[in-house]
Amino acid sequence: MEKLNASVFLKVVETGSFKRAADILGYTQAGISYIINAMEEECGLKLFYREYGGVRLTPEGSTLLPYIRNVADEEHYLEEAINDIKGLDSGTVRVSTFSSVYIHWLPGIIRDFKESFPNVNIEIVSYDEDRENEEMIYSRQVDCGFMAAPPASADIEFFELMKEPLMVVMSEDHPMASRKTFPRSKIGDYPYIMMTYDKHDFNALIFTDGIKPQTAFTVDNDYAAIAMASKGLGICISPKIQLNDMPFPITYMEFSPSLKRTIGIGTRSLKGSTKAAREFIRTARRWVRANV
User: Does any domain span residue 143?
Assistant: no
- Residue range of the domain that includes 209: 164-259
| pLDDT reported for residue 114 | 94
The pLDDT of residue 201 is 58
Give phi and psi for 60, each to the nearest 5: -65, -40
Q: What is the 3-state secondary structure (H, E, C) of 104-158?
A: HCHHHHHHHHHHHCCCCEEEEEECCCHHHHHHHHHCCCCCEEEECCCCCCCCCEE
Residue 92 placed within a domain: no
Among 86, 105, 138, the domain-final residue is: 86
pLDDT value at residue 99: 87
How many structural domains does the chain have? 2
Closest Cα to residue 32, out of 11, 14, 63? Answer: 11
Under 8 Å CB-to-CB from 145, ≥6 apart: which residues?
95, 96, 97, 133, 134, 136, 137, 265, 266, 267
Residue of 165, 104, 150 whose CA lies nearest to 264: 150
Confirm whether 238 is domain-assigned.
yes
What is residue 273's three-state secondary structure? Answer: coil
Which CATH number do you get for residue 169? 3.40.190.10
The whole-angstrom separation of Cα 65 and Cα 107 is 32
pLDDT of residue 200: 47
Given 59, 86, 113, the domain boundary residue is 86
Stretches in the chain below the pLDDT threshold 70: 1-4, 80-89, 197-202
pLDDT at 251: 96
Which CATH number does the domain housing residue 62 bear?
1.10.10.10
Asked if residue 176 is part of any domain, the answer here is: yes
- Does residue 31 sit within a domain? yes
Domain's final residue, options 34, 55, 86? 86
Which 3 state secondary structure label does DSSP give 276?
helix
Cα separation, 200 vs 22, in Å, equals 36
Per-residue pLDDT at 84: 65
Phi, psi (5° rounding) for residue 20? Answer: -65, -40
CA dist 190 and 240 (Å) reads: 21
Q: CA Rg, the chain, in Å?
A: 22
pLDDT in tens, 134-189: 998 998 889 999 998 899 888 899 999 999 999 999 999 999 999 999 999 899 99
Question: What residues does 239 pair with on adjacent strands?
Answer: 166
Q: What is the pTM of this model?
A: 0.69
What is the C-alpha to C-alpha distance for residues 148 and 100, in angstroms, rounded to an integer? 10
CB 251 within 8 A of CB 170: yes
Question: Is 233 contained in some domain?
Answer: yes
